[in-house]
Amino acid sequence: MTTAQLTSPYQHYVYAYPHKTAYRELPDRPTLRSLWAAEDKSALSLYLHIPFCEVRCGFCNLFTRIGAPDDLTGAYLDALERQAGAVREALGHGEQVRFVTAAFGGGTPTFLTAAELDRLCDIAEHRMGADLRAIPLSVEASPATATADRLAVLAERGTTRLSLGVQSFVDSEARAAVRPQRRADVEAALARIRDAGIPVLNIDLIYGIDGQTEQTWLRSLDAALDWQPEELYLYPLYVRPLTGLDRHRTDTGDPDQAWDAQRLRLYRAGRDHLLARGYTQQSMRMFRRADAPRQGADDYACQTDGMIGLGCGARSYTTGLHYSFDYAVGMHEIRGIIDDYVATVDFARAEVGYRMDAHEARRRHLLQSLLQAEGLAVDDYRARFGSGPLDDFGPELQLLAERGWLTDADVDADADAESDTTRLRLTPEGLAHSDAIGPELFSPAVRAAMAAYERK
């Protein structure tokens, strides 16, 4: 473990484990039917990925391209429908196949026209069998694409949560993040979303932008709070390779300590501001209004398998394999992957993925549970794996405790039981360092695969 890993609170945002850069081509190309044959299909999650945006923000390293010439969105939906047919066939038919949550992400799903969004919902319902009006449905949007006609389609088709990427209500900060937008346009989009009557509004904000101060950060928070959003996500700015922003990286690769200190200071200010105004903290990033309706699993809380991802940037999770398509950040490579996806006729096999063994399953459960504010329920872990988290990860948890990042636990490396411990929770400072704790919990095998990944 390097000094940089120990001192920098900002290593990686861990929203899924293993990271996609650990995925590799699968030599055997297993059939989806064989992968899902023995899986529990009674409580599946469905994710549809739309890899298009009107612009690409300077901080973005998501799998997306700018624009969609020559009816590419229509061709993409054709391919999505072909993939949905192949996946549904692989799952089988009957009462044992049931979806309990759905989400449209990207990219920007609302880059699609209103008619195309209607078709996207048809694919989820008629091809996959998800009853969108009966389960939580979350959709991501941008201010420019949150138009009245699109929102009307989403509301009518059962959307329960709309997440709007705002990042900052201060125009100069939006420009610094290479996100061309005006506050007036953001406010107009928020008004349209509230008029549409979608039950849960989430607003994404970013801290650590060049020129941002505590005063402007709180100003953005207050502007968001004026809309009484049911949820707020507060993201630290990251500058990743092959993205538009690169000015905070140093030639030595050492962390920028002044920038780290700024982000930690803004995080704490934002956290305290929201807690004082009736929001509860769900994770380092997520805050929920105390009276807001629940929307199913929160971020990080995907310990269980049974994820069906459709689209060239989506992941699928079975007990033994996480799989997807090829991954890239560079625009030229992304365009090539999208073109290959659109041209694909046979979606019956998994092409790229990571094999999950029992140890990785334990690590994933620990990591993604611990990064939630409510922590890890020891009894649930023991019931699932037949051992306790201290049995399996004693040294790692001991290190967190020594740093003051773990509470509500008698963490003893020599202990052979956890009879007095019901939950393992991060302290407030532990939550603040979630983006350092998460990567430290990666297995050596995942670390090695990520390090060997050829960036493209």
Could you give the 3-state DSSP secondary structure of residue 381? helix
Rounded CA gap, 245 and 239, in Å?
6
Strand pairing class (161-167; 65-66): unpaired
Residue 331: the pLDDT is: 77
Q: What is the CA radius of gyration of the chain?
A: 22
Nearest 5°: the CA angle 175, 171, 247 is 30
How far is the C-alpha of 424 from the C-alpha of 411, rounded, in Å? 9
- At residue 52, the pLDDT reads 85
**Cβ–Cβ < 8 Å for 91, 36:** yes
* Helix (H) / strand (E) containing 431: helix 428-432
Nearest-5° Cα angle at 337, 26 to 179 = 125
Length of the chain: 456
pLDDT one-digit tens code per residue, 147-160: 999 999 999 999 99
CA distance linking residue 438 with residue 116, whole number of Å? 37
Alpha carbon 222 to its chain centroid, in Å, reads 25
User: Which class is 358-448 in CATH?
Assistant: mainly alpha
Which of 51, 126, 55, 121 minimizes the C-alpha distance to 85?
Answer: 126
Segment 272-280 long-range contacts (CB within 8 Å, at least 24 positions apart): 273/218, 273/221, 274/221, 274/232, 274/234, 277/225, 279/232, 280/373
| CATH class of the 20-289 domain in this structure | alpha beta
Q: Which residue's structure tokens are 């050596």?
A: 444
Instruction: Examine the pLDDT at 415 and tell me if it is beyond 80.
Output: no
- Per-residue confidence band for 301, with pLDDT thresholds at 50, 70 and 90: very low
Which DSSP state fits 111? G
* Helix (H/G/I), strand (E/B), else coil: 328: coil
| Per-residue b or e along 273-304, where b marks 16 or more CB atoms closer than 10 Å to that residue's CB | bbeeeebebbbbbbbbbeebeebbebbbebbe
**Distance linking the first and last C-alpha atoms of the chain:** 26
CA 182 to chain centre: 26
- Find residue 424's DSSP bridge partners: 376
Measure the CA angle with vertex 68, ends 54 and 209; round to 5°: 25
Which token pair is 321? 């394999």
8 Å CB contact between 26 and 352: yes
Given this chain, do its domains 20-289 and 358-448 carry the same CATH topology?
no
Task: Give the tens place of pLDDT for each residue, 33-76.
Answer: 999 999 999 999 999 999 987 765 545 556 666 767 779 999 99
From the list 160, 63, 149, the residue with the least C-alpha distance to 112 is 149
Question: In this structure, what are the phi and psi dihedrals at residue 235, rounded to the nearest 5 degrees?
Answer: -105, 135
Placement of tokens 């047919």 in the chain: 85
Tell me the mean pLDDT in the region 197-214: 95
Q: Which residue has the higher pLDDT, 10 or 229?
A: 229
pLDDT in tens, 159-194: 999 999 999 999 999 888 877 789 999 999 999 999
pLDDT of the residue at 48: 97
Residue with more model confidence, 285 or 70: 285
Question: Tokens 């919990």 appear where?
Answer: 441
* 204 Cβ contact list (under 8 Å, min separation 6): 163, 164, 165, 166, 167, 233, 235
The residues spanned by each domain of the chain are: 20-289, 358-448
pLDDT in tens, 89-122: 999 977 689 999 999 998 899 999 999 999 999 9
Does residue 289 sit in helix, strand or coil?
strand
Q: What is the mean pLDDT of residues 241-262?
A: 62
Residue 25 CA from chain centroid, whole number: 23
Strand (E) or helix (H) holding 423: strand 423-426
Residue with tokens 């929160």, as numbered in its chain: 298
- Mean pLDDT to the nearest integer, 311-340: 89
**Which pLDDT band, with edges at 50, 70 and 90, does 419 fall under?**
very low
Query: Which is higher by pLDDT, 449 or 416?
Result: 449
How far is residue 281 from each of residues 30, 215, 233, 288, measured CA to CA in Å? 41, 22, 10, 7
